[in-house]
Structures are given as structure tokens and as C-alpha cells.
Amino acid sequence: MNTELVAPSVRGNECVELATFVIEDDRLGIPIDEVDEIHRSVDLTPVPHAPLCVRGVMNLRGEVVTVIDPRLILGYEPAVVTRQTCNLVVRWGGERVGLLVDRIGDVVSVFREDIEPPPANLAQRQGRFLRGVCNLESGILAILDIEQLLVLEEEAAAPQNSRDASLTRAGPS
């Protein structure tokens, strides 16, 4: 995947750096400037009566940070914490939120013009979590929309455990 780290040739300066990670079999990315830090050790305190997707809260150097399991929002089984599980801390509004991801990937640079809108045949509920997709040599990378992903329960539909549409399978045909 190192080939992707090399910035693509001079086609324009509208370049976006994406931090990539894997959830289930999907390769996802978010703009690197939205990511605060990434770490492995996850010592969580569960919160009673919190929305389903909240795995708990953690102490991040004196700050109490909510940790979310995006798998539950995207319609997968809850994450099983392994040695590869990482906590991706992102900025969301005024606060910081941790995202549990199965595995962390490389940082890739893509041109804005290479980002396509999410495919129309993607299930409505999953499609709204994506800002777009890009077709890289190594496969398809979907760009997550943090705002939509973390939007509070009262505004969003309740998460269901449906596994109907996987992101990659629903990629552009």
C-alpha cells in the first residue's frame, strides 16, 4: 500500500489526506485533520442508559471522552476488542469522541476530483454516513462523514443490526 503514500503526480493542489481504517471488510477513511490521535489501549467505563452505540467513556489525559462503536451505527455486530483494535479520537463539534475500529491503515492522499458521490444503490441508511468514495488501485475507499455518523440518537433512526449492505459490495458498478 506504500504506493499510495506517494503523492499522486501534479494534477492539481486539491489534495486530501485521509486516515484509513478497516471496519468489518470495509476500508474507510476520514480527513486526517479531523483526527486528534490514535491509540490502542482502551480502558472503558460503560455508561448505563447511554445510546447503544456508546461503548463507554475513557480518561484521555484528564478529559472524559465518549467512545463510540461505529459498527453498531453502520449495522454490524458489536466490535470484539482484539490486539488490533484501535481507538481513533476525532473532533466533533466542541468535544472529542473516540471511534473503535478493527484495524488502522495507512494515510493516503487523494485528489478531491477523484472522490465520487456515494453510489445510489447503497442503502439509504448507510449512504448518509458517507461523504463519498474513491477508487484506489488497491480497492475502494469510502470516506466517512463524522457529523452524520455521530448525530445524536433523537435525530437519527435507531440503529438496527442488519447486515444487508456492506459498503464495498455496494461500490460503484
Partner 1 sequence: MSLDDKDIIGEFVVESREHLANIENELLAIEACGENIDSDLVNKVFRAVHSIKGAAGFFGFSQVQGLAHEMENVLNLIRNRQLVPKPAVTDVLLRAADRLRGMIEDVEHSNEVDVSQHVAELRAVASGEATSAPPVQAGVVPSQQEATTGTERQLEVVEGLVEEVVAEGTQSRPSAAEMPPPACQVPVSPAPNLGETAARESKTSSPSPLAESSIRVGVQILDRLMTLAGELVLARNQLLQTANSGDSSAWGTVVGRVNQVTSELQETIMQTRLQPVGAVFSRFPRVIRDLSNALGKQCQLTIEGQEVELDKSIIEAIGDPLTHLVRNAVDHGIEPPDVRIKAGKSPVGTVALRAFHQAGKVSIQICDDGRGIDAAKLKEKAVAQGILTPDQARAMSDREALMLIFRPGLSTAEKVTSVSGRGVGMDVVKTNIERLGGTVAVETHLGKGTTIDVRLPLTLAIIPALVVRCCGPRRYAIPQTNIRELVRVKARDAAQSFQRVQGAEVFRLRDTLLPLVRLDVALGRCAAREGPPSKASNIIVVEAGSLRYGLVVEGLCDSEEIVVKPLGRHMKRSVCLAGATILGDGKVALILDIAGIASHMRLAMPKTDSSAEGPSNAGLRDMQSLLLFSNHPSEYFGIPMEIVARLERVRADHLDRVGGHQILQYRGGTLPVFSLEEGVNCRPRPAKPKLYVAVFSTAGREAGLIVPEIVDIRSVPTQVDTETFREPGISGSMVFEGMTVRLVDLHELARKLRPDWYQSRPAIPTPNGSAPRILVAEDSDFFRKQLVGFFKTEGYEVQAAEDGAVAWELLTDPNHHFDAVVTDIEMPNVNGLELAQRIRGERRFANLPIIAVSSLAGDEDIRRGRQAGINEYHIKLDREQLMATMARLLKTSSSRAATGRKS
Q: How many Å apart are CA 149 and CA 76, to the nearest integer?
A: 14
Q: Which stretch binds partner 1 (CB under 8 A): 79-87, 92-100, 119-127, 137-145?
A: 92-100
Q: Which residues share a beta bridge with 142?
A: 28, 133
CB 167 within 8 A of CB 119: no
Using CB under 8 A as the criterion, what x/- string covers residues 12-51 for binding partner 1?
A: -------------------------------x-xxxxxxx
| In the block, residue with C-alpha cell 473516540 | 98
Given 22, 65, 123, 156, the residue binding partner 1 (CB under 8 A): 65
Does position 68 bind partner 1 by CB under 8 A?
A: yes
Q: Kindly state the smallest distance separating residue 159's Cβ from partner 1, in Å.
A: 12
Contact 78, 71 (CB under 8 A): yes
- Which secondary structure element, helix H or strand E, spans residue 147, and what is its range? helix 146-150
User: Contact residues for partner 1 (CB under 8 A)?
Assistant: 43, 45-51, 53-54, 57-59, 62-66, 68, 93, 95, 97, 150, 152-154
